[in-house]
Amino acid sequence: MFSISLLIVIVTALVFEFINGFHDTANAIATSVYTRAISPGKAIMLAAVMNFIGALASEKVAMTISKGLILEEPAQYVILAALIGAIVWNLITWYIGMPNSSSHALIGSLVGAVIIENGGFGNILWSGLFQKVVIPLVTSPIVGFFVGFLVMKWLYILLRNKTPFWVNHTFSKLQVVSAAVVSYSHGNNDAQKTMGIITLALIGAGLLEGDAGVPLWVKIVCAIMIALGTSVGGWRIMRTMGSKVTRLAPSGGFVAQTAAAAVIESMTALGAPVSTTQVITSSIMGVGSSKRLSSVNWGVAQSIVAAWFITLPITMILGGTACFLLSFLF
């Protein structure tokens, strides 16, 4: 039977999923909107639909969250603390318009809460954390940068005899497709984190076997919430992603989105919870750098990269603090 604490955890997890949707909408559609390949309203609805479809596609990342980071299932209030810490950080970074990884906010907050619960590091599966989180945290943006850089260089050569009108007209249409693909990959990777958290809570409550996988109803409600959140949009972050890092033509937007989608899908197949924010931003930087290094606003890029690396430690503190406070209530 569902306890009150379990219900609170599930509701909070769905709130996080909703925030994840509107927080990360810009990652998939910002370049399409700012190159005028698609209107903002249509872009948001496209992203919402593709996030929903992607969220139902697999569960490897969800199993990493529920089974691959923590040795023993934490108490319900610990999971709740992890969600609160991640939500707080997501809202802070959304308010200031700074692209941030919802994935690593949740994982960092979970690790911090578990450390406080156990009074030490003994319940953390460090090998899983290192292999599935830390390594992809470093490698996926690097791969995204170089894939965007190299593909754009190749495209310059391929299109050198085409007129600017033909290039812009063609890639404006193709960019709608790439926006749909990267939105799908966002749902396929990001929505699974919340699925994993709810699955972890169900296992801890004794309502689910550890190897049972993600229940279908969990997949459906998470898919719905991330789609609803996506439909709200993320205009503050969209402004940063769409124009402040670098100016992109439709061809560059297409390459950045396609490169990001390829990297995210590869990581999802490995069960690695990567950041759509990090990968699409680094792909945009790579595309911009392929023309000339000065075309990238490296000051904005530097602040974005700094936010990536402070997310884990800050959310560990937030999650740990929330766990300490909630321990007095539970």
**Does the pLDDT value for residue 2 go beyond 80?**
no
The CA-atom distances, in angstroms, between 132 and each of 57, 111, 126 are 20, 14, 10
Residue predicted with more confidence, 116 or 227:
116
Give me the phi and psi of 12, to 5 degrees please: -65, -40
Which pLDDT belongs to residue 240?
A: 54
Least confident of 193-197, 234-238, 291-295, 300-304: 234-238
**Does the pLDDT value for residue 17 go beyond 60?**
yes
Q: Identify which of 231, 150, 221 has the alpha carbon closest to the alpha carbon of residue 191.
A: 221
User: At 317, which helix (H) or strand (E)?
Assistant: helix 298-326
DSSP 219-286: HHHHHHHHHHHHHH--HHHHHIIIIISB---HHHHHHHHHHHHHHHHHHHHTT----HHHHHHHHHHH
Assign 296 to helix, strand or coil. Answer: strand
Q: Identify which of 96, 121, 101, 100 has the alpha carbon closest to the alpha carbon of residue 111.
A: 121
Assign 28 to helix, strand or coil. Answer: helix
What's the rounded Cα separation, in Å, for the pair 21 and 51? 8
Residue predicted with more confidence, 316 or 25:
316
Task: Place 134 in a pLDDT band, splitting at 50, 70 and 90.
Answer: confident
Give me the phi and psi of 70, to 5 degrees please: -120, 135
pLDDT, tens digit, 9 for 90 and up, residues 217-255: 999 999 999 888 877 765 555 555 545 566 778 899 899
Assign 161 to helix, strand or coil. Answer: coil
